[in-house]
Amino acid sequence: MIEDITLDQLNCDPYPIYKRLRRKAPVARIKSVGRTFITKAEDTKFVKDNPELFSSDDQNTPMKRAFWAHTLMRKDGDDHLRDRMAMAPAYAPKVIQNDWMPHYEKTAEAYVGRLVRGEIIDLFNVLSGAYAARGLAFLLGIEDASDDEMIEWSQALINGAGNFGWHPQPFERADRANEGIHQLLDSIQHRHRTSPNNSAFSVMLNADNPIPEKQMYANIKIAIGGGINEPRDALNTIIYGLLTNPDQLEEVKRQGDWVKAFEEGIRWVAPIQISSRVAKIDTQIRGCSIPKGDTLMTIQASANWDEDFFEDGELFNVYRQTNPHQAFGNGPHFCQGTHVARRAVAMVMLPMLFDRFPNMKITDLSDVVWHGFGFRGPTQLPVLLQ
């Protein structure tokens, strides 16, 4: 049991804490979070690769309260697979390439095109979140929602799901998001039933054996939660990493290594930092007893800096020799939006943004603000466009 680690410390900068835990207590009960932290890469992968030992059904997570549903993120086996596969046609490679990437390219052209050279803008507020929101709205079939609505819903749900202190305000904000999403989905059902398309909501509604409506709505909310934060935070992190390592940036431009930059960025600061699992039986990890019912928190942010796999893991290095990161998870819950995020960020936005503003720079590093324990990225990233 470790009693001197607070949620505020984790939200501010968890990495020094994880380094200490990896070295001295890689399996540790953290009192403030009420969970057992697993911080070594070998162990986080083991836990998530073995659902017969460790269940995703964490009954104590604030996610169920925040999302008004028992979501696929907290399900195992056939229940999880059915909910996941209900949206799978919208994430098929050909659909991503033919349906969604043209929308992302069009959105990127429009949103980058409205930026003005010579101005200092906060990419977090002006570009990254809006770009992720607009592309996701088309993919989900909820393009009626504005960028501002999508961004607010996403942040409200994420804050609620990460509300491990069980404070009332984040849940109240999540409630308003749920109400808005449900109202929208109710209003567009008829359109999707009469004019089917490849969007996630449409394929779920028109399936031969559809999942219950409540689970459709839960699936859409899970996608809104992760589908904006993850690409937004990844994009901002990669831009920061490249701008603070100009030699790497020039090499990435020269070789077109935007995908490598993407993979390194999400390793360096994983947008989704943690996952929870529940021990189904009494077991052991590194000689430490894990009793049945114990809630584990696998820290992929820590795994991605593990000294056993990454030399100088704290450094942003696009050209490191190997990069076996766990930023997208592993096992049955491997992130469904992986290929969309990689294409939207690495193949569309990054090359376009740096082509339009080849001398973009951060004028004052002290103005960049990082935050988050469950989800992490720069929440303020002012850059000079030039």
Helix, strand, coil percent content, the chain, rounded in steps of 5: 55, 10, 35
Q: What span, in angstroms and rounded, lies between the C-alpha atoms of 222 and 238?
A: 24
Domain ranges of the chain: 7-384
For residue 85, pLDDT over 90 is answered with yes
Percent of the chain exceeding pLDDT 90 equals 88
Neighbours of 117 (CB within 10 A): 11
Domain 7-384 has CATH 3.20.20.140: no
* CA distance to 51, 235, 258, 352, per residue, from 253 (Å): 41, 16, 8, 11
Burial class (CB in 10 A: 0-12, 13-18, 19+), 187: exposed
Neighbours of 254 (CB within 10 A): 8
In the numeric block, the tokens 């986080």 are attached to 44
pLDDT tier, 332 (very low <50, low <70, confident <90, very high otherwise):
confident
pLDDT tier, 59 (very low <50, low <70, confident <90, very high otherwise):
confident
Name 382's bridge partners: 122
| CB distance 382 to 121 below 8 Å | yes
H-run or E-run covering 300: helix 300-303
Neighbours of 32 (CB within 10 A): 16
**pLDDT 10s digits, 105-151:** 999 999 999 999 999 999 999 999 999 999 999 999 999 999 999 99
Give Cβ neighbours of residue 23 (< 8 Å, ≥ 6 apart): none
In the numeric block, the tokens 């935070």 are attached to 233
Relative to beta strand 283-285, strand 288-290 is antiparallel
* CA distance to 16, 72, 88, 152, 229, per residue, from 159 (Å): 23, 18, 26, 10, 11
Report pTM: 0.95
Average pLDDT over residues 184-192: 98
* CA distance to 15, 29, 273, 369, 373, per residue, from 296 (Å): 18, 9, 14, 29, 15
Share the mean pLDDT of the chain. 95
Percent of the chain exceeding pLDDT 70 equals 100
For residue 198, pLDDT over 90 is answered with yes
